[in-house]
Amino acid sequence: TKVIFLSLEMSTSQLLKRYVRDRAHVEKEAYRYRMFNSNIADTYLPDLDGLKFAGIDEGMRYGIPEIESILKTEKPELLIIDNLNKLKGEGRGELEVTQNVSQGILNLTRQYKVPIIVIHHANKAMPTVRKKREEPPPAGSDAYKKKPEEGALFRGLSGMRGTNKTADDADIILEIARMPWTLEATPWDKTKSSLWAYKDREFDATAKLEIYYYEGNFYEDYKKVKEEQDKKTKQVLIPV
């Protein structure tokens, strides 16, 4: 499968460094001071075989004509755009520009029969007003064990930045967020994200999923790999 990732915020070098660092579970400070195994790039970059990057490395701004050129010349089976707000377009204001860009992407998917995933940021939640002399909870308090409500992270369709036309044009709308974990969180808790499906034009269904992504595998895949590894380990340890 040929996939093109059109990055309009980060360079290819930045994306690759971020991917390798996260896959190797290297903290940002440790990576900055090179406190990690020097072979991590050779270990994890092969995961991205088949993925081609485009975007700000070319030193140009992207709009509908440039995206169409990619579809014509590269003929990808999937195009991912990060993000909608960085695409240039025509219009008298940000709202009109977003509407025209959204319509343009919709037309391209219909014309070239290529699925396009567009990353779009949600509006930030309104900050909670704190009392002037509010003191933090004492150490060991149960307050540190409480999980925040999901509503504080998920913005829903009404929380999408810009115009409602973006939601109308999309065939599928997903929102993903990672809940902050508490001090008692297990390793699996730290890898959990929640995914809301608000719209599916074909199946007319909504859903919520819990996603676990650990060591480069989703939870179900990881379990299968781990089970196979455990079987091999047991076979080696069985006395003859």
pLDDT digits (tens, 9 = 90+) for 54-72: 988 877 889 999 999 999 9
DSSP state, residue 147: P
Q: Which two tokens stand for residue 161?
A: 């930045």
Per-residue pLDDT, 93? 86
Residue 154, phi then psi, degrees to nearest 5: -85, 130
pLDDT of residue 100: 93
pLDDT in the model for residue 225? 57
Average pLDDT over residues 199-214: 81
30: pLDDT strictly greater than 50? yes
Cα–Cα dist 37/150, whole Å? 37
Instruction: Assign 238 a pLDDT band (cuts: 50, 70, 90).
Output: very low
Q: What confidence score (pLDDT) does residue 189 get?
A: 67
Residue 86: closest CA among 104, 73, 71, 101: 101
Q: For residue 92, give Cα distances in angstroms to 17, 58, 102.
A: 38, 27, 15
Range of 33-42, 70-79, 213-222 with top mean pLDDT? 70-79
